[in-house]
Amino acid sequence: MSEQQLVQVETSSGVRTLTFNRPEKKNAFSLPMYRAAVSALRAASADPAVRVVLLSGAGGAFTAGNDLADFANIKDFTEDHPAVQLLLTLLDFDKPMVAAVNGVAVGVGVTMLLHCDLVYVADDAKLLAPFVGLGLVPEGGSSLLLPRIAGMAKASEILLLAEPFDAAMAVSAGLAARALPPAELLPFARKKAARLAELPAAALRASKKLLRDPLRERLREVMFTEAARFSERLTSPEAKEAFAAFFEKRKPDFSKLA
**Structural domains in the chain, sorted by start:** 1-182+201-258 (3.90.226.10)
Q: What is the mean pLDDT of residues 167-174?
A: 97
**CA separation for the pair 101, 182 (Å, rounded):** 9
Q: What is the mean pLDDT of residues 209-224?
A: 96
Q: What is the mean pLDDT of residues 109-118?
A: 98
Least confident of 3-7, 117-121, 167-171, 212-216: 3-7
Residue 189 has pLDDT above 90, yes or no: yes
Average pLDDT of the chain is: 94
**CA separation for the pair 125, 185 (Å, rounded):** 11
Residue 212 has pLDDT above 80, yes or no: yes
> Per-residue pLDDT tens for 60-76?
999 999 988 777 676 66
Q: In this predicted structure, what is the pLDDT of residue 75? A: 66
**CA separation for the pair 217, 223 (Å, rounded):** 10
